[in-house]
Chain A
Amino acid sequence: MNALNQYTDLYEANRAAVDAGSAPVLNRLRPEALDALKRIGRLPDKSDEGFEKTSVNDMFAPDFGVNINRMSLPVDVASSFRCGVPNLSTLLGIMVNDRFMPTATLVGNLPQGVTVCSLAKAAAEQPALVERYYGTAARADNAGTALNTLLSQDGIFIHVGKGVRLDKAIQIVDIFHSAFPLMAARRVLVVAEDGAKVAVLKCDHTQTGSERCLASEVIEIFAGRGAEVEWYDIEESDGSTSRYSQLYARQEGGSSLTVCGSTLTNGVTRNEYHIDVCGEHTVTHLSGMAIGSSSQHIDNFSVLRHGACHGHSDQLFKYVLDERSTGAFEGSIEVCHGSRFVEAYQSNRNILASKDARMHSKPQLLIYNDDVKCSHGATTGQLDEKAMFYMQTRGIPREEARRMLMQAFMADVIDTIALEPLRDRLRHMVERRFAGEKAGCRDCGAGC
């Protein structure tokens, strides 16, 4: 079954409604996206290279509702949510399904030169600024991205002006709340102008009971010359949630970018990281962590393209898969012709903790230049029996030893996070996760 048709048909039948619920700058790209989708004809499935273990077509196939008429929710979900990080004061924005809701921290609280608001609102108020970036990093010829461009009506816009260094982290809480199967096309645009600094923390939650939901996310990040951008993403949804997230980042000269994505609980997830290094003397850290149990499926895909000299990049992805969970990793380092003195490393380490867990790993190098140092490594195995034995001889029960070792295994991914309070928080979450519990935030009644 071709899952794409239901969405293109929906758009064609409701063009006016989609446009009405959004802004002209966003609407402008829809016809082009529709053309691209018609040309491509389908969403990727397992027969496509790079999608061996994840069929995007199957993710989009169920009959999801799409809230194109922007119907508002009967309850105020946002007010009951407290996704706090102890000792970290953040500027908090909440996204319920595909609608952005600012909180008090964002109103009148933002430093000069910083914008954090709804994307549709920004597109209406500052069309020139949004137009300059919107849809320019995301690949129009990618089916998933084109579909998001076709249907996304709102999202989050984060803009940090030239030389502004934002001390507080921006936190985005994504919540699914729906009584029927829902697809939400979310869009995030992060622009850090030259010399700016920003850290964004995003977490995903689901409150749909057992209704299925699907998030289509496209995130565009622009790091100007000398800018520092950090992007942390923690997925803590549930088994009924599918997520197709595509992150596109563009790095200018002298910039540094840190991206860390953690999947703790989910249904089916595919994360794509497309990072384009366009300027010289850049630093890029890309990391990911996946903890799978029951029948979770986690697929991370990265393309880190070095299009300029003197780039340094590190990629680290780790998986612990238990029960019937499946993991997939495909990551590539691409060094373009003429990009000299590039150092790029990639590592993928996986632990299979049960006989039904599966891991598919495909690290890649595409090197078109000789003056480089590049390497990748991948291992799939199990916990070290000797270490387990050692711990047991010290009186630590086997289960406990196992948990400790798994946690230690994830430590270096957590260490890539620059914000210390967030590191501590994630460590705690991972600990709880391995203990089979959901993390649960202080003061939060949501119980996600």
Chain B
Amino acid sequence: MKNVLGREIPESIQGYGTVKPFKGAFESLGNVEKKSVQLRSIVPGESKILSSIREAMEKCNIKDGMTISFHHHLRNGDYVLNMVLEEVANMGLKDIKVAASSIFPIHAPLVEHMRNGTVTGIYANYMSGPVAEAISRGELKNPAIMHTHGGRARAIQAGDLKIDIAFIASPTCDSYGNINGVQGPAACGSLGYAIPDALYADKTVAITDNLVPYPASPIEITQEYIDYIVEVDSIGDPKGIVSGTTRITRDPVGLKIAKMTSQVIEASGLLKDGFSFQTGAGGTSLAVAAYVKELMKEKEIVGSFAAGGITGYIVDMFEEGLFKSLFDVQCFDLKAVESYRDNKNHQGMSASMYGNPHNKGAVVNNLDVMILGATEIDTDFNVNVTTGSNGMIMGGSGGHSDTAAGAKLSIVVTQLMRGRLPIIVDSVTTVTTPGESIDVLVTERGIAVNPQRQDLIEKLKDTNLPVMTIEELKEMAEEMTGIPEKIQLDDKIVAVVEYRDGTVIDVVRKIKD
């Protein structure tokens, strides 16, 4: 069958089940239910502290076929996922499903666990490196399921993604399971992505390298959700957890795109007191923030909040009084971690509060402007950030679809071509975010507005910005690059891309060697 975007998807996928096709960004919402949670009460006198991960797994009655989960705040410095899976393999367990909010190159040992049948399923919102490549080559038994950040929270809450045991990498944990992310050698700041796991998993195990006397302070994940605690030597490498500094691009093309983007924001009329804003940590996105900062200062505008993965640059804007508050689901650098620890108005949010569409309203719904990236964008404004143009998985939505759906103005910023590859195509390799959620595309040579936003087209007419159709932009790039040949993919489905509401927006097929 074809979904509403015209993507060819089977009615049922082996290893996934029946497909609910994507119908539109807000078509599959309404009255929903939260799943119930089975748990065992802990009585006075019981200790939660166990001596090893092995003991914790035995206490949790781990069995073949179970789903175990991880959060990704330690990013490419995370030791916990590898540590737990090594023990899973040592125990001879098979058919384990790994629900990791994101997977990074450091998780390469997972490939071997996939090959020998220890791990047969993977859920992730984002994946890059050897695991993503192995999945693209068809080395995982069942198709991987790719969520959005908000969609993962929804899937857990709705019971679509049932977690048997959640392993929470805990930079600080007290002896009764109160956790925070701001102290300890592996301090990473907000633990927003771990919260749905802690709330809805049958069993929850805190893995920490900073076990402190009761009670910890501050507390981000509370004792009422934690069954067991295991102390280990190290949960992660600080160098991989936080990038030293996040920098604004020096590339003149990136700066030109950023400048034009700030002019689009200004023309939109959204830049006034109470303005809310989110941007990624990429060089061009940060440069947009820099130009927006200049505009806000010049016009003496005070914004309400900035959200998302928070970088030092956004913290600077906050400290200068340009935003009243920050909503933080994940800290990208040390400056953000320090600010999250020290500033009352730098507030944490869970993955669910951030972007879960089943909520009574997520933070993304209150965003004015969102700055997004793209690997490819098609002439219907559908965006791919999941696969490279060779079909290999190299990312995933993360918060892309969530913020695009929520924000009043979603702007994709990208160079017109990357290497020789044109970014604007007739049909993206994989749809991550539907075109209906994208309002504007800004490239160094021109700006295209989604035709459904006639109001914006009118507003931009009064500026001297180079507004044109997305087809014109595409032709401009192809004049320079030539028209790329279509890549050939195998029929086998290696990943299912779920939209935030749990419907299937696209599938990823095996690459041909």
Are A and B genuine complex partners?
Answer: no
